Structure 1
Amino acid sequence: MGKEIILCQKENRLVALKTSPQQYFADLHPKRIEDVFLSNEPSIISIKSKHGETVARAAVSYLLSEALEFFNVKETMSDIQVAITVDLILEEYPYLQTDDLKLCFKNAMKLKYGQIYNRIDGQIVMSWLKSYDIERSEKADIESYNRHKEVISKEETSGLYYDEYLAELERKAEQGDEEAKKALEMSSMVKKMLCKR
């Protein structure tokens, strides 16, 4: 049920992107990578698969132009440079969500990825994304490891040893539980097969 709700929320966000892009982008406010992990924003690849490459390209272009608008530099990107950079982003980072891009570009505006010295081009934008992606991967690894530790901890405190499991099955089988009887028979067959080896 939880996955269905998340899928529905992602679908709603995809529809919002298509029907009201300015409002959609105005509503994106990630502050940390953890915010992105908890969001239901679509990835570039899901936008492309649901609405086509043109919409995916437009979404990335919008976010990039928002960032470029922020900087007051003499040498900014031409339309052709923006188009090439957008294509590179679609190719290299299709798994990033729209709020990933928003956060990356916001971090660039905060000079998290270094000073801007009177020029912005595709190389600089791609370096921002590379730095962001490394940070994102590190956070994802840490979060994954912490979840793993939590699951292991729960298993250690709430699990049964095999002997306890068998004793519980025998108790249930004695009380007439047919499923427990079948499980005991299966366990017995597996033991016999293992002993023959």
Structure 2
Amino acid sequence: MKDLLTLQAEYYKGLHVSSIKEAVLNTPNLPLSVIRKEITLAGARAILVIAINELVSFFNVGKTMNDVQVALTADLIIDRFYYLKLEEIKLCFRNAMASGKIYDRLDGNIILGWLNEYDVQRDEIVSSLSINEAHEQNNNSTGMFYGEYIKHLTERSENGDEEAKELLESHQSFIQRMKSNDKEAAFKKWKEEYYGRTKKQTT
């Protein structure tokens, strides 16, 4: 944490993970929310600005980001992806460098899109790890269906199992985020169709 206060660029440069599983399981438990709490919003923003500027420097595009856009994107990442670790942010961005398609444009919307894609992959892997853990604990050679897994977590949570409670809350939070994303997508589609109809009526 001390290095985050004084050597932010060096700290970010030293982060190395090769997979989502490694980032989630084998790195310090320092999500953005903890970093923001311990070193202030300005400190969390500063290291994300370093991460985003690395992306900006990597992609040679005609339409790029200015300092204000970079700072705003950093704030949006802190607000929306507060549960991700810096190792995960870097892994997501490095994957984007390797295979991201930007078509001569880089902006906050594209970067948030990459993080959304990473988040979906992350939840799938975390859920898989949780199911495997429950499977091993119960020595159930036939596996566990989704409904059984949720029921199992609920029972453990009701019996005072804090780990099961956290897993269940994490899953419910993911479902709510997915519902929220669906609503946003539906509203965006409605808005586009509405303004499309309005434009036709006025022409």
TM range (shorter): 0.5 to 0.7
Structure 1 equivalent of residue 36 of structure 2: 48
1:167-192 per-residue CA deviation (whole Å, 9 max, x = no partner) reads xxxxxxxxxxxxxxxxxxxxxxxxxx
Asked if the contact 1:41–1:99 (Cα under 8 Å) also holds between the matched residues in 2, the reply is no
Correspondence for 1:193: none
Letter in 2 for 1:15: K
Partner of 1:91: 79
Letter in 2 for 1:48: R
TM-superposition CA deviations, 1:4-50 (whole Å, max 9, x none): xxxxxxxxxx1222232222112111110011011115211111111
One-letter identity of the residue aligned with 1:108: A
Conserved? CA contact 2:9–2:47, under 8 Å: no
TM-score under structure 1 length normalisation? 0.68
C-alpha distance in structure 1 between counterparts of 2:18 and 2:56, whole Å: 19
**2:13 corresponds to 1:19:** no
Give me the CA root mean square deviation: 1.3
Residue 117 (structure 2) aligns with: 131
Task: Tell me the amino acid that sits aligned with residue 105 of structure 2.
Answer: R
- 2:5–2:43 Cα contact (<8 Å) kept: yes
Could you say which structure has the larger radius of gyration? 1
Give 1:73-84 correspondences, 5 Å limit.
Answer: 73-84=61-72
Q: Which runs of 5+ in 2 are unaligned?
A: 141-203
Counterpart for residue 101 of structure 2: 115
- Structure 1: runs of 5+ lacking an equivalent: 1-13, 155-197
Q: Distance in 2 between matches of 1:148 and 1:16?
A: 37
SS at match of 2:16: coil
Distance 1:104 1:120 in 2: 15
Q: Hey, what's the Cα distance between the residues in 1 that align with 2:12 and 2:94? A: 13
* 1:132-170 per-position Cα deviation (integer Å, ceiling 9, x unaligned): 00001111000111111111129xxxxxxxxxxxxxxxx
Paired positions, count: 139
C-alpha separation in 2, matches of 1:83 and 1:35: 28
On the 8 A contact 1:44/1:97 being kept in 2, the answer is yes
Task: Name segments (4+ residues, structure 1) moved above 2 Å.
Answer: none
